[in-house]
Copies of this chain bind each other. A is one copy, B any other.
Amino acid sequence: MKFIIHRDKLVQSVQDVMKAVSSRTTIPILTGIKIVANTEGVTLTGSDSDISIESFIPIEEDGSENVEIVESGSIVLQARFFSEIVKKLPMDIVEIEVSNHQATIIKSGKAEFNLIGLDADEYPLLPQIEEEHVIKLPTDLLKAMIRQTVFAVSTSETRPILTGVNWKVEENVLICIATDSHRLALRKAPIQQAVQTEHNVVIPGKSLNELSKILDDTDELIEIIITENQVLFKAKNLLFFSRLLDGNYPDTSRLIPSESKTNLTVNSKDFLQAIDRASLLAKEARNNVVKLSTLPGETVEISSNSPEIGKVSEEIQTANISGEDLKISFSAKYVMDALKALDGTEININFTGAMRPFVIQTTTDDSMLQLILPVRTY
């Protein structure tokens, strides 16, 4: 194998596939990056067996040359060293050559690295996925859907299924749901081209976080193919495979209240900042719990009290309050996470009493919903 490549192209690809490489793997060859050069270009692969990422650098792109292939071939190089080396090479042009016995020479300017590689035939094959029932979404919409739900997955392994995001495809709508059993985030969006099948799968939160980091903010369509135990995301020159979580996701539809007793409309930023301030004293003593009380004159009070440190209270003018008076306590962090995910300037909060979950939505977009369980303090 021998090829000459632009450093920047190589650095970008290595950075992408590195997202899948873990130093804590039980399969030694997976600490490496697989490099395959053929007449079409260079393909890099990284994997931790849960996530696999393949990045392709074509010989030519948009009329300019990326790579010159001198001899086809393949090698696996230690990911940690290879990624550091390519970042620090002195010149824009890099030559990579494998001589006998996987000895690999990386040259750039007057710097020459000799690395001991591994046989690429030993590297596990990626899942074979048939491309039926392709779902297409704009990449930026997919990123938004991930961002608005994935933060709510459980970080505890007590119920492993809750560490993933439930993806459902029903009647040409994609619905993403995450819950850690204290809060729930839901986002739905129509699928551009009609698909025949329905799906109900659970994608690990970690996979979605890594995917989101790699994808550009573009409105180009990304293709999504869901199989029984894998999901494949296909973007330009990029394949991202993730295994799915085993087991059934709980039915969350009955958790969302259909009616409410107290309704509040408020500026999202004012509300967020008041909760942030109230939580300053709550972090230590009260497990980050703050209290909301309705007051006369369309205002609410956000407050917190830590006997040893002090107390804080702040009144916020609302746009509207209707229904019963209310005093309710909740996790400041959960409500702040939800408000940040919603991206709205004005939000509606619908309460069904101090002990029941409440729903936060923007006033303009009902495709997103955040549900939070209150904390009992009385």
Contact = CB atoms under 8 A, between A and B. Distances in A.
A124 interface: no
Nearest to A109: B314
A81 interface: yes
Contact of A309 (B81, B90, B112, B273): B81
A309 B78 contact: yes
A310 interface: yes
Contacts of A78: 309
A280 B312 contact: no
A49 to B, nearest CB: 23
Interface in A66-102: 78, 81, 84-85, 88-90
Nearest to A117: B310
B115 A309 contact: yes
A312 B84 contact: no
Nearest to A276: B88
A112 B312 contact: yes
A14 to B, nearest CB: 14
Contact of A114 (B81, B114, B310, B315): B310
Given A110-B315, A110-B316, A315-B110, A90 B310 contact: no
Contact of A280 (B84, B273, B281): B84
A352 interface: no
A110 B312 CA distance: 11
A78 B312 CA distance: 15
A277 B312 contact: no
Contacts of A314: 90, 109-112
A274 interface: yes
Interface residues of A, number: 31
Interface string A204-239: 000000000000000000000000000000000000
Given A277-B88, A277-B90, A280-B81, A310 B111 contact: no
B274 A85 contact: no
A116 B310 contact: yes
B308 A116 contact: yes
A86 B330 CA distance: 24
A199 interface: no
Contacts of A309: 78, 81, 115-116
Interface string A106-127: 0001111111100000000000
Contacts of A274: 90, 111
Interface string A46-71: 00000000000000000000000000
Interface of A: 78, 81, 84-85, 88-90, 104, 109-116, 273-274, 276-277, 280-281, 308-316
29 contacts: A81-B280, A81-B281, A81-B309, A85-B277, A85-B280, A88-B280, A89-B277, A90-B273, A90-B274, A90-B277, A90-B314, A104-B310, A110-B315, A110-B316, A111-B274, A111-B312, A111-B314, A112-B312, A112-B313, A112-B314, A113-B310, A113-B312, A114-B310, A114-B311, A114-B312, A115-B309, A115-B310, A116-B309, A116-B310
